Chains A and B, each alone.
Chain A
Amino acid sequence: MVVTELQQRMQESFKDNVDEEYLMDCMRCGFCLPACPTYLVTNKDEIHSPRGRIALMKGMRDGDVVWDGSVEESFDMCLGCRACEPACPAGVQYGVLLEETRVAIEQVKTKSVVEKAVRKSTFDGVFADQKKMAGAVKLVQFYQKSGLQTVTRKIGFLNLFPPFMKEMEAVLPAIESKKKRATPSEPKTTTVAFFTGCLMDTLFQETNRKTIELLESLGVDVMIPKEQQCCGALHGHSGELEKGLRNARTNVDAFDSDSFDFIVNNAGGCGAFLSEYEKHLQSDTAYAEKTTRFSRKMIDISSLLVKLGLNERLKEIQVESKAIVTYQDSCHLRNVNKVFLEPRTLLQDAPGFEYKELIDAGSCCGSAGIYNILQPEMAKKILDLKMKGVKELQPAKVVTSNPGCLMQMQVGIQREGLEKEMQAVHIVDFLYDAIYKNQN
């Protein structure tokens, strides 16, 4: 076998970046196989399983395989959903291994023009800086308001883009301009700093506004540190960990204050990365302590609402149950932060709905950051599988806890032609409506 220079450099990069000790933790028992969505939708292909990917990482490191398309495909196909982690009895830190692998690849690989463009605009552009994000959103806003949206849809301008972008565009929420927040009168007992999230703060502004309102109505003083930035998860999961950590440090500084009890977020994907700042910055002496404080205060919106007693409030509102509501877990909220009971109890107590569990609610919907843009075929298969369960259940609302999942589920609903019968909604919007629409 002729080993090219690229292959040699790739092996070196795996050696430098992928931790051998973590690789050795895998005992190859296969307990992770049934949890992995890519393994399941590829008719049980071992290269698309966690066990197979770990073997490939080790193979790259040890020089048992050389970098080629088949190896690359295996890593590219991983959703990073981390369903393999709770399934693994040996405690393999798959998330870390995947991040390290993507860094290893990123450092050596020359990327395709399309991927470069996507990466550049995502990692150095909008997601690097909240202001740029706001700018991008202004454009979208203009586009929606000006009637251009309707026109472009008609003339098929979007056919020029990959099919998935088109579907995504179709489900973008109508953006409202920032409204003044309501100021309820109750005495404040808890102070919370709100991590607004870049997508949440722009495309899903409405949801953020409702988040604040809900919290305030439960006696919370909500502060929004101005210097905060995108959490950096997308960078971290795509081999640009250093750029992700640049954002991390800014955020840790922005939220470093004794004046609040919790740092709350309402996007599962961000929440996981935020809570893992601790792990990533533990060797940075200037930041280790601050970061620990930061990560320990981090809480997701469902857990906080449960803590603040929203369940009781929901139970007080008596309305006859009419429709079915179900829940699609955000992978990272479930698999990394281990939050899955809280959102369910809230939905169970919500007036006007009957909660029913979605088949395999805990398995990934295929959104996974920008996975659905980079791997549209696989994402479609995974989403189709998900929609099978949804069709069986026929809910009126599919509740999610993450903007990516929200859009993905909405795409699924549209693909199936079900948009008249059901809707995908963010848990905050759902709860807000459950309270304010049903309250007299």
Chain B
Amino acid sequence: MKNSFLSIVGVENVKYSQAHMLAYSYDATANFQAMPDLVLSPRSTQEIVEIVKICAKEQIPIVPRGSGTNLAAGTVPTQGGIVLLFNNMSEILELDKENLTVTVQPGVITQDLSNYVESNGLFYPPDPSSMKISTIGGNVSENSGGLRGLKYGVTKDYVKALTVVTPAGEVMKLGGKLAKDVAGYDLLSLLVGSEGTLGVITEITLKLIPLPIAKKTGIAYFNSLEDAAETVSAIIANRIIPVTLEFMDKGTIGAVEDFMKIGLPREAEAMLLMEQDGNDKQVDEDIQKMIAIAKENGATSAILAASEEESDILKTGRRAALSALSRKRPTTILEDATVPRSEIAKMVKAIQEIALKHDLQISTFGHAGDGNLHPTCLTDVRDQEEMARVEKALEEIFQVAIELGGTITGEHGVGEMKAPYLEWKLGTVGMNLMRTIKQSIDPQNIMNPGKIFAKETKKRLVIHGGN
């Protein structure tokens, strides 16, 4: 078996040492780990076709892996099999300035793509906090979002065309460079966010937009969560759609300050990072207005970042929130609960109550503008009793999110970690339809098995506070 893979990808692209099996047994998700049987680095779509054909015949699981930065155990090979890498497929293939598209291989690092198009005066807006390391293939497969999601949308809003190797080993081309296309079911959208369960993505064409000329950042601190949440609602009610509207609670502010020493006030209960881009005049107007709105809504301080450097520092601080928090305890479990933005204050409050009730350390930050929150639980996997409480708390958080009209994940995906909760969001009918789709595309269940679909759904809890 090993030999047939070897003859496809060449000896330097097959790994099976003990160290390699361990090094590809995890991703950025806490508390998940499992060894694969083989690690392959194909060099082309054709090689992937040949690999998948063997796997289909022999029923070998395939786990596509970008940089393994996902937070849902999406790349942990829990059923063994092959980990498929894209380190040999990381080229930018074409920049089409007439159609405003860029075509890339899946292994391109998001930040490299972003820098490349910006050096050509164009803009690729999705910017997950992990963009320095994540791959475009991973972003498309997780439908990743970022700090600019409120104004510019998420990855799916930019995917124009995909080349996919199906679980039967056939090549399928979806979409194209055209602006309009309504021929048949929207299979392109089905593949975006499919987390490697429907096929291997081998080429991606992305939409680009002109690079905005100007950009300004404001920052506001509050004594209460409600004031911050009110500010978010009021900004949007005033018909401003900022490019970034990010939130950090007290615990997160303290952690970022400990780490970066950038002068954040530890006593503040909440902080908002507000950014607008566009033409000079509009940017200026919007940012001033946002600062005024924050003040009207009780901000203890609301100011314009003094310089580009300062605003970069603040954004870096926000991007580092998760890692900064992780310094506090051995294990960090990040959640991705999302609610309509009108419910942010309620959600954050509920999270704090749940933390208190279970005697846990949970801090929250996230994309306030789109209601995507990241409650982050600091714990220690070695403490089984505490881990049991963590699980209870997380269940309650998902529950409240759904009750408030929200969802269990806003951008990180379901993977294996959140699979037991998916039915809470989709209902039985939705789950059954999804299962039928998976079955018809991947009848042998070789593409990233065990992800998205759980063996068992968690029982829902009795309704509790937070509403």
Contact = CB atoms under 8 A, between A and B. Distances in A.
State yes or no: do A and B come from one complex. yes
Nearest to B320: A89
A74 B19 contact: yes
Interface of B: 15, 17-20, 22-30, 33, 41, 67-69, 85, 87-88, 109, 130, 132-133, 259, 320, 322-324, 326-327, 330-332, 380
A339 B27 CA distance: 33
B323 A47 contact: no
B324 A89 contact: yes
Contacts of B29: 28
B20 A70 contact: yes
Interface in A45-68: 45-47, 49, 52, 55-56, 59, 64-66, 68
A204 to B, nearest CB: 37
A21 B323 contact: no
B20 A90 contact: no
A34 interface: yes
B87 A90 contact: no
Contact of A29 (B15, B18, B24, B28): B28
A90 B327 contact: yes
B22 A91 contact: no
Nearest to B112: A34
- Chain B contact surface mostly: loop
Contacts of B69: 29-30
Given A30-B68, A34-B133, A90-B323, A25 B330 contact: yes
A27 interface: yes
A65 B331 contact: no
Contacts of A71: 18-19
B133 A56 contact: no
B87 A56 contact: no
A71 B320 CA distance: 31
14 contacts: A27-B30, A27-B326, A28-B68, A29-B69, A33-B133, A34-B109, A34-B132, A46-B20, A55-B22, A64-B33, A69-B17, A70-B17, A73-B19, A89-B259
Residue of B17, B41, B87, B88 with most partner-chain A CB within 10 A: B17
A65 B259 contact: no
Contacts of A45: 15, 23
B216 to A, nearest CB: 26
A21 B326 contact: no
A30 B327 contact: no
B10 to A, nearest CB: 12
Contacts of A21: 330
Nearest to B39: A46
A31 B85 CA distance: 18
**Number of chain A interface residues as a range:** 20 to 34
A52 B23 contact: yes
Contacts of A44: 85, 87
Residue of B18, B133, B320 with most partner-chain A CB within 10 A: B18
Nearest to B329: A24
A43 interface: yes
Contacts of A59: 22
Interface string A241-272: 00000000000000000000000000000000
Nearest to B65: A46
A65 B332 CA distance: 24
A27 B33 CA distance: 13
Contacts of B26: 28, 55
A88 B326 CA distance: 11
A76 B87 CA distance: 23
Residue of A29, A47, A69 with most partner-chain B CB within 10 A: A29
A70 B19 contact: yes
Contact of B323 (A24, A64, A69, A89): A89
A91 B329 CA distance: 12
A88 B132 CA distance: 12
B259 A91 contact: yes
B330 A68 contact: no
A229 B88 CA distance: 48
Nearest to B256: A89
List 6 tightest A-B contacts by C-beta distance, closest first. Answer: A89-B323, A70-B17, A24-B330, A70-B19, A52-B23, A46-B23
A41 to B, nearest CB: 12
A295 B407 CA distance: 53
A30 B133 contact: yes
Residue of B23, B28, B67, B69 with most partner-chain A CB within 10 A: B23
Nearest to B90: A44
A43 B88 contact: yes
A24 B30 CA distance: 11
A25 B327 contact: yes
Nearest to A75: B19
A401 to B, nearest CB: 26
Given A90-B327, A91-B327, A47 B23 contact: yes
Contacts of B20: 46-47, 70
A65 B323 contact: no
B256 to A, nearest CB: 10
A196 B17 CA distance: 45
A27 B329 CA distance: 10
Nearest to B67: A30
Nearest to A29: B28
A359 to B, nearest CB: 14
Contacts of A33: 67, 133
Nearest to B83: A46
Nearest to B260: A89
A65 B67 contact: no
Nearest to B32: A28
B323 A29 contact: yes
A65 B29 CA distance: 20
Given A30-B68, A31-B323, A43-B87, A65 B27 contact: no
B28 A27 contact: yes
Nearest to A73: B19
A28 B27 contact: yes
A30 B28 contact: yes
Contact of B326 (A43, A56, A90): A90
Contacts of B331: 24, 27
B62 to A, nearest CB: 18
Contacts of A31: 130, 132-133, 323
A55 B23 contact: yes
A251 to B, nearest CB: 31
Contact of A47 (B19, B132, B320): B19
Contacts of A46: 20, 23-24, 68
A89 B324 CA distance: 6
